Amino acid sequence: MAAEPASIRPSRFWWNTGMKILQDTGHLFRVAAVFLVGFVAFLVLRSLLVPRSFGRYGHYRANAITEIAALPVHYAGHQVCEGCHTDVLDVKSKGVHKGVACESCHGPLAAHADDPAAVTPAKLDTRILCARCHQENLAKPKDFPQVNAPEHSSGAACNTCHQPHSPAMNVGVAQ
Amino acid sequence: MTMTRRQLLILLPAAAIAWDSILAGTPEASPNYEMAEHWWAMLIDITKCIGCGSCVRACQLENQVPDGYYRTWVERYHIADWEMEYPKVDSPDGGKNGFPPAKEAGGKNFFVPKLCNHCADSPCTQVCPVGATFISPDGVVLVDQKYCLGCRYCVQACPYGCRFINPQTNTANKCTLCYHRITKGLTTACCEVCPTGTRQLANLKDPKDPIHEFLRTHSVQVLKPQMATHSKCFYNGLDGSVR
């Protein structure tokens, strides 16, 4: 190989070397461009697919909270019942059942509270209803009033003698 | 279906607005409720529980829980004598229809109502791979039914067995502490119907809540304290045999 002419200037030498490096690195720029396009596509897709409320309070969708809070209510709550049935409240508040909520026995009645004419509460069988709480059982607290229901009433309904809203005997007989 | 350029140009903004509303989600359901003012808990007084199962029935009706699955349930414990490590526990149908007479006379017998403990450091929310279950800013452990994959990690992680896979949706399901009720100023369905006041919903951030006085004056315990879950279901009169 012939020797380089001594007349070549140093600046020309650096120019040639620089061009040679760029010539071999073109593919790197293409790869970088592909990655950049992919990253931008990822950012665009992510902004489209991740719900906006995700991450507002933590690593979850904050709107899930409002969705759960918006579920329908079935038990109206005794305050709603007491708004209309003041006569029952008067009886109940004097007896031992004053702490028992209306829907504890009568079942979920938010639909009745919303439209009292369309939805009416079912008639209850006190033989089943009262026994749910007052049927005797060893595991119940000793100071809780308990009876062996079939033996206690000989098959008669409990409300023959007891007024369920205020079940002490003297109140029940007077009804 | 063919579409002119004009039709497409009209449709595209409409589709963009629709997609935008999907991303934005539902608006606030209870505007008067302030999450920052609440840190929900429950007080359960075992000495008052009569095992009537009203809570289990109410929970099922309020939250449409499928038959055979329970967000809350009642257990009956029987400890013959000194063998506290071997309690006999039964819970027929979750205690929904009450309990039959005890098989063995004597010993110690009592009921324990159970539900999600709404732990402040809950293992179940930590294992979720997709962010579908979380502790809300007011301290309730909830499941995002739209995000849940049904992978069951959380069901295994709960030390209290409070989660299940809903067979209708194939997603994880659990007690929400009646979040749709407590955010509207009501109490939970189980607390509402409890005839003896065994269960009481409590807001720990409210200094006037009676729970503070109760916690000061009673020997209160949580379930499995060794799990360090910081459970927020406080049990009064909890026997050492209960797990």
Residue pLDDT, tens place only, B101-131: 988 888 899 999 999 999 999 999 999 999 9
Q: Number of residue pairs across A and B with CB atoms under 8 Å? A: 152
Residues 83-142 of A with CB under 8 A from B: 97, 99-101, 103-104, 107-108, 131-133, 135-141
Higher pLDDT, residue A4 or B231: B231
Considering only alpha carbons, which residue of chain B is nearest residue A70? B29
Which pLDDT tens digit goes with each residue over B14-69?
887 777 776 666 555 567 899 999 999 999 999 999 999 999 999 999 999 999 99
Secondary structure string (H, E, C) spanning chain B: CCCCHHHHHHHHHHHHHHHHHHHHCCCCCCCCCCHHHCCEEEEEEHHHCCCCCHHHHHHHHHHCCCCCCCCEEEEEEEECCCCCCCCEEECHHHHCCCCCCCCCCCCEEEEEEEECCCCCCCHHHHHCCCCCEEECCCCCEEECCCCCCCCCHHHHHCCCCCCEEECCCCEEECCCCCHHHHCCCCCCHHHHHCCCCCEEEEECCCCCCCHHHHHHHCCEECCCHHHCCCCCEEEECCCCCCC
**Is residue B14, in this structure, part of any structural domain at all?**
no
Considering only alpha carbons, which residue of chain B is nearest residue A47? B23
For chain B, say whether A57 makes contact (Cβ under 8 Å): yes
Contact A69 B192 (CB under 8 A): no
Higher pLDDT, residue B145 or A27: B145
Distances (CA, A) of A151 to A100, B47, B97, B196: 25, 27, 20, 24
Residues A134, A101: Cα–Cα separation, whole Å: 16
What integer best gives the mean pLDDT of chain B?
92
Closest to A104 in 3D by CA, of A77, A123, A126: A77
Q: What is the pLDDT of residue B146?
A: 94
ipTM for the whole complex? 0.85
Helices first, then strands: H and E counts in chain A: 9, 0
Contact A139 B102 (CB under 8 A): yes
User: What is the pairing mode between strands B233-236 and B40-45?
Assistant: parallel
Which pLDDT tens digit goes with each residue over A3-57?
555 555 667 777 777 777 777 778 888 999 999 999 999 999 999 999 989 999 9
Residues from chain A contacting residue B38 (CB–CB below 8 Å):
none
Which structural domain range is residue B204 located in?
A: 35-243
**Is residue B229, in this structure, part of any structural domain at all?**
yes
* Average pLDDT of the residues in B184-198: 96
For chain A, say whether B142 makes contact (Cβ under 8 Å): yes
**Is residue B150, in this structure, part of any structural domain at all?**
yes
Q: Does A172 score more than 50 pLDDT?
A: no
> B83: buried, middle or exposed (CB in 10 Å: 19+, 13-18, 0-12)?
exposed
Higher pLDDT, residue A137 or A26: A137
Q: What is the pLDDT of residue A1?
A: 53
Percent of chain B whose pLDDT exceeds 70: 96
**Is residue B115, in this structure, part of any structural domain at all?**
yes
Q: What is the pLDDT of residue B73?
A: 97
Contact B58 A103 (CB under 8 A): yes
The CATH number of whichever domain residue B156 belongs to comes to 3.30.70.20
Percent of chain A whose pLDDT exceeds 70: 91
Residue with tokens 């007084």: B45
Residues B243, B222: Cα–Cα separation, whole Å: 10
Residues from chain B contacting residue A63 (CB–CB below 8 Å):
25-26
State residue B225 phi and psi, 5-degree precision. Answer: -60, -25
Residues A156, A149: Cα–Cα separation, whole Å: 9
Residues from chain A contacting residue B31 (CB–CB below 8 Å):
none
Contact A72 B109 (CB under 8 A): no
Contact A61 B47 (CB under 8 A): no
**Is residue B96, in this structure, part of any structural domain at all?**
yes
Residues from chain B contacting residue A95 (CB–CB below 8 Å):
none
Percent of chain B whose pLDDT exceeds 90: 80
**Is residue B40, in this structure, part of any structural domain at all?**
yes
* Average pLDDT of the residues in B201-224: 95
CB atoms within 10 A of CB B28: 13
Residues B178, B162: Cα–Cα separation, whole Å: 15
What is the count of structural domains for chain B?
1
Confidence class of residue B203 from pLDDT cuts 50, 70 and 90?
very high
Residues A129, A124: Cα–Cα separation, whole Å: 7
Residues from chain A contacting residue B30 (CB–CB below 8 Å):
69
**Is residue B146, in this structure, part of any structural domain at all?**
yes
Chain A nearest C-alpha distance from B149 (Å): 14
**Is residue B62, in this structure, part of any structural domain at all?**
yes
